[in-house]
Amino acid sequence: MRPTKYNREELLKNAKMIKFVCKFCGSKIETDSKNLDCKACGALMAVTILPYLENYKHNKNSKKMKNEKSLFEESVVSSENYFMDIIFPILSIQKIELENIQKLMNFQFNSGNNLAPEQLKQFVINKKFLATDFFQKNQVDLTDLQLTGLDLPIYFNGLLPQGKRIMIVAQDPLRNEEGFIKMNANISHEMIIWTPFSYQEKNNDNYLYWNIIGYISEKSSQVYITDLNKIWFKPNKNNLTIRKDLKANLYLNILEKEVNNYFKPDIIFAFGKKAFNELKFLKTEARVYYILHPSRTAARYRPEYFADFKTDNENLKFDYKNLNDLYKSKINNFINKSE
């Protein structure tokens, strides 16, 4: 069964026939229960009454959910051990709450829809659930940690069944004030849960990060993406020590388990120098390669990083199309080295 989409007029027109619907995808639910899962998009406890969706604006040009892909492949990220070792130390919520968040992220990724405010609010969580063991032990005042965020690691199948298992390690789950305003989140008392590189929003092919990850998935059997620093908050002189302690006593321990206990990659691509410098000291059998961070702030390092690659017109070497090709060539060389 695929989600049935309704606009406001259709909702009102069918109001007498359809009373209960999924609050995430708008699908009809044949029940008057208040705790039923949606069979269409998989969201848990998703049932709501029809008026809830009367003002919901669906994207008329949204993609149909064909060839659905999960960003959280069950073979790794759904296990109880993974949850307790990787997620719970930084996000102390119940596993079923995590699964609800993941299912909404999957729905957004596969549908290509922009989520409604009510849906986006599912990604906003009170900071009292943030790394509770660490922060309680160190008696940290969480209101001092402004613009807090964390990214859920994602794990999906690549397109080359006999290919390498490739892990991407990003630097930080960076947040900004604009994002908190969009999500109607309190910068002092709440945090935003998202995915690395905003991958759940991948609904076009014109974003450099997504193109690079897409190419890596073409060359691999599985892809796992995570952050070096598991939690981000706005740096200031009062939280400098906390940031160092988090990395030494929490982040690196979790990353080592991701690498050696769970995903066990053949290749690790470190996006950015900070991630690469930390990974050099990690005990692993995987080959670790440095990928120049695709962000604009790293643009000044592109001439040096891609010095070995020549183009017909050096003046256009770093325009958007060529930049995609340069990253592909670099990644392809690294993969070939690992054969």
Same domain? For 71 and 173 the reply is yes
> Could you tell me whether strands 267-271 and 287-291 are parallel, antiparallel, or unpaired per DSSP bridges?
parallel
Same domain? For 30 and 162 the reply is no
Q: Which long-range contacts (CB under 8 A, 24 or more apart) does 182-186 make?
A: 182/120, 183/120, 183/121, 183/123, 183/124, 184/117, 184/120, 184/121, 184/124, 185/124
pLDDT at 78: 82
- How many degrees, rounded to 5, is the angle at CA 9 between CA 6 and CA 13? 90
Same domain? For 41 and 174 the reply is no
Same domain? For 156 and 44 the reply is no
Q: What are phi and psi of 10, to 5 degrees?
A: -65, -35
pLDDT at 338: 85
Query: Do 315 and 202 meet the contact criterion of CB atoms below 8 Å apart?
Result: no
Per the structure, the count of domains in the chain is: 2
Residues of the chain with pLDDT under 50: 1-9, 11-18, 34, 50-66
pLDDT at 8: 42
Q: Helix count (H) and strand count (E) of the chain?
A: 13, 11
Q: Which of 36, 168, 37, 174 is nearest to 103 (CA)?
A: 37
Same domain? For 4 and 146 the reply is no
Q: Which of 16, 32, 58 is the last residue of a domain?
A: 58
Domain region containing 308: 59-337
Q: Which of 192, 252, 206 is nearest to 226 (CA)?
A: 252
Which helix (H) or strand (E) covers residue 207, if one does? none
Helix (H, G, I), strand (E, B) or coil at 139: coil
Same domain? For 77 and 30 the reply is no
Q: Which two tokens stand for residue 133?
A: 């063991």
pLDDT digits (tens, 9 = 90+) for 124-151: 999 999 999 999 999 998 988 999 999 9
pTM of model > 0.85: no
Same domain? For 65 and 54 the reply is no
Same domain? For 230 and 194 the reply is yes
Same domain? For 88 and 121 the reply is yes
Q: What's the sign of the alpha-carbon dihedral 296, 114, 189, 103? A: negative
Same domain? For 133 and 254 the reply is yes
Size of the chain, expressed as the number of residues it contains: 339
pLDDT at 24: 61
